[in-house]
Structure 1
């Protein structure tokens, strides 16, 4: 596979990405075609708190191989990682990892799945200069989403807890390593 490059996702690129969200698997695991537009709409809103952690920034990238967009990553950064118990009798924050954290959501162009693009994106994002202060990269995955779990494992992410949370999600994480800080990064704005 040729090198994957991350480039900042711009509003005029919505027509490239929105069709990916008509795919049944994408809708099942992430959301419908309005999702990338809603993420862009957050850009100008103030940062806030979410489930016991303070948001520090927002990033969105398209992954490219040559001139072909192959995937999308949405990334919110936070002052820490929290395990949250919601629902009717939820207790709120039940555990904390006090590390600057990137919370990732991603999708691969449907016709290009199972070719290594997801693992490549999840690996390269750990070296993004915009995320230099981040120590922990986390993605929550429904325990039934075998393809995404395989992608995360291939990229060096491991489950923080094998038991799903109150929403049925298992969180996979990767710590930033010295290798991440020194290896090359392919990105452009």
Structure 2
């Protein structure tokens, strides 16, 4: 199977992603990429924002940033294009993220997921992410982490 390519989101990509938020499930899980979001993402050092491409087709997106207290940890969120859910794109996006050269300096990766988002929890766990706690944090999210194997 062809590898997914991660490419930085430009303004056209932002509009593409924005259209995906017509899906109620996605809109419930993540903040839509409106103009304020766009300015924040592009004005924050270290933020990564990528579209995931299968050939010429955008299949999802990833966004993340370094932990403010631990520069070796990368916090991220991801979404598969709503009409493509359940086809393995989430797992492939995570794999592409972990292999991306821009993120080679990070040792740990953390995603925060609502406890009822079983699809994302299963996707993350299938790629070796493990819960950092069995209880949701003060915001109601479960944190799942992945640590790169040591040298």
TM-score (ref. length: structure 2): 0.90
Matches within 5 A, 1:66-77: 66-77=55-66
Structure with the largest fraction of helix: 2
Tell me which of 98, 103, 106 is aligned to 1:131: 103
Task: Assess if the C-alpha contact under 8 Å between 2:66 and 2:75 holds in 1.
Answer: yes
Residue 40 of structure 1 corresponds to 38
Alignment gaps of 5+ in structure 2: none
Give secondary structure in 1 for the equivalent of 2:138. Answer: coil
Which digits, 9 at most, give the CA deviation of each residue in 1:38-94, with x for residues without a partner? 4431244355xxxxxxxxx111000010111000000111254xxxxxxxxxxxxxx
> Residue in 1 aligned with 2:29?
29
Q: More strand per residue: 1 or 2?
A: 1
In the alignment, which residue of structure 2 is the partner of 1:86? Answer: none
Separation (CA, whole Å) in 1 of partners of 2:139 and 2:44? 26
Specify the alignment match of 1:83 in structure 2: none
Shift of 1:164: 0.7
Give, in angstroms, the shift of residue 126 of structure 1.
1.3
The count of corresponding residues between Structure 1 and Structure 2 is 151
Q: Which has the larger radius of gyration?
A: 1
1:100 to 53, 59, 72: 72
- Distance of 1:77 and 1:63 partners within structure 2: 20
CA RMSD in angstroms comes to 1.9
Structure 1 ranges of 4+ moved more than 3 A: none
Which 5+ residue runs of structure 1 have no aligned equivalent?
Answer: 48-56, 81-97, 182-189
User: Partner residue of 2:122?
Assistant: 150
